[in-house]
Amino acid sequence: MKILVISGPNLNLLGTREPHIYGTTTLAEIERDLAVVGAELGVQVECRQSNHEGAIIDMIQGAKGSVDGIVINAGAYSHTSLAIRDALAAVAIPYAEVHLSNIFAREPQRRHSTLAAGARALLCGFGAPGYTLALRGLVAALRA
């Protein structure tokens, strides 16, 4: 089984970006934890990050036929991008949406996700461990 993990805009700044909201764990540390959990679960995990909406869409489209699931934190694009939502719908790959902060406890414009309706699950508010929790949950759902 192969899982693609996509991190969107500004997530490359984790560890220093608004640590009171997003914590001090870096994206590299999250990706290392995902690799460890992937090995534990016997799944291959590929991690990618982009600040560009089109690049994220290309990642999703390129995953068709080569991955079994996607864990995605589209960052601010989660709240605005119908194009990313459409790409996820088009490839029909099961996905879990993850956010470091509780988006429903944030500013009004962050309390809606364009991706959530098509997601197998939405996990938010657990900080960096949310990525590995989403990975574990998605793999369990795919194996069920």
Instruction: Please identify which of the residues 77, 95, 99, 131 carries the catalytic annotation.
Output: 99
Distance, in Å, from the CA atom of 44 to the CA atom of 35, rounded to the nearest integer, reads: 8
Instruction: Please identify which of the residues 22, 77, 95, 131 carries the catalytic annotation.
Output: 22
Cα-based distances in Å from 25 to 30, 38, 71:
7, 19, 18
Is 79 part of the annotated catalytic residue set?
no
The residues, ordered by sequence, that sit 6+ positions from 108 with a Cβ below 8 Å of its Cβ are none
Q: Which 3 state secondary structure label does DSSP give 104? A: helix
The CA angle 68-59-45, to the nearest 5 degrees, is 45
Residue with tokens 């949310």: 130
Distance, in Å, from the CA atom of 41 to the CA atom of 124, rounded to the nearest integer, reads: 22
Distance, in Å, from the CA atom of 140 to the CA atom of 109, rounded to the nearest integer, reads: 32
Is 22 part of the annotated catalytic residue set?
yes
Catalytic residues: 22, 99
